[in-house]
Amino acid sequence: MKAVLSLLLGAAVLFGHGVNAQEVKLLQATSTIDFSFANFFKGDILVENLAYDKKVTVVASINGEEWQEYEANYAESLDNGLELWRFSEMSPYSLSEYQFAIKYEVNGETFWDNNNHSDYLLTKVEGGRVENNFILHSDFMIKNQKMNDWYRSRDGFYYMTGTLYLQNLGFEKQVDVVYTTDGWQTVETAEARYVDSNNDGSSEEWRYSLKSEVANQHVEFAIRYRVNGDEYWDNNFGRNYSR
């Protein structure tokens, strides 16, 4: 059982589809207002590792003002010749609209992901609570976006929560976290729940919660998305997630 399941999760194609040949590609981006009314602009970028020396920037206009460049930072190397880069910026405005594209400079060349010459757009979000507007690139079906640390609840159990984004491919869907706490000797499944949709309804935000009787329990997991008779996985580029 352990060998079979590990092979299944390790071999599942990333997000259900292969990554198209493209030197740079936005994976996901969010615009978030927190409880202090600060607005944060964050995201993940995939780049083809063409050379050691490279520069990845987000070229953005905030609220229609002058275009500026914000540097992304290297996060990690992936097994398929790609690198993951991340960016995070705080806007001086509590209500911000971001029009942006991704620029990748390497070997004297410049590559762009500008959403097929339309630029990406994160429209304003409003309210006095935590709110998101988000983009998930159309080449990807599902992406685990955030994992929190284990915390103890009043019921005496420990919980780890997380957030994921998925493409809205149909109204009827099932989203699960498939996980193990003993190296895949046993397997458990936790259902994720719908939270919100982005402005045009093309992507959705879902959240999940894993339960343990032990503090700081080591867990490995992947995300499974079933819709329209198809099944998609996010297994962290074939390595599964762990906490």
Q: Which CATH number fits domain 2-16+141-242: 2.60.40.650, 2.60.40.2440, 3.40.50.1970, 3.40.50.150?
A: 2.60.40.2440
Checking if the pLDDT of 11 tops 70, the result is no
**Percentage above 70 pLDDT, the chain:** 81
Q: At residue 14, does pLDDT exceed 60?
A: no
Residue range 207-231: mean pLDDT, rounded: 91
- Whose tokens are 């806007």? That residue is 91
- 128 against 199, higher pLDDT: 199
Answer whether residue 224 shows pLDDT above 80: yes
How do the domains of the chain map onto residue ranges?
A: 2-16+141-242, 24-136
pLDDT score for 236: 85
What's the pTM? 0.70
- Residues 138-149 have pLDDT tens digits of 667 877 777 888
Calculate the average pLDDT of the chain: 82
User: Can you give the pLDDT at residue 54?
Assistant: 96
CATH topology identical between 2-16+141-242 and 24-136? yes
The CB-based long-range contact list for 15-18 (8 Å cut-off, 24+ gap) reads: 15/139, 15/140, 15/141, 15/142, 15/143, 15/232, 15/233, 15/234, 16/141, 16/142, 16/225, 16/230, 16/231, 16/232, 16/233, 17/139, 17/140, 17/141, 17/232
Please state the rounded mean pLDDT for residues 175-201.
90
Report how far residue 236's alpha carbon sits from residue 208's, in angstroms, rounded to the nearest whole number. 16
Report d(CA 137, CA 118) in Å as an integer. 13
Render pLDDT for 109-127 as a digit per residue (tens, 0 to 9).
999 999 889 898 887 655 4
CA pair distance 160, 186, nearest whole angstrom: 19
Q: Residue 237: what pLDDT?
A: 82
pLDDT in tens, 74-110: 998 987 888 999 999 887 666 678 899 999 999 999 9
Look at residue 35 in the predicted model and tell me its pLDDT.
Answer: 62
Q: Tell whether the model's pLDDT for residue 18 goes beyond 50.
A: no
Q: Pick the residue with more confidence: 222 or 141? A: 222
CA distance 46 to 74: 10
How much is the pLDDT for 139?
67
pLDDT number for residue 42: 87
Q: Is the pLDDT of residue 17 over 50?
A: no
Percentage with pLDDT > 90 across the chain: 40
The pLDDT tens digits of the residues spanning 22-38 come to: 899 998 888 877 666 67
CATH superfamily membership of 24-136: Carbohydrate binding type-21 domain (2.60.40.2440)
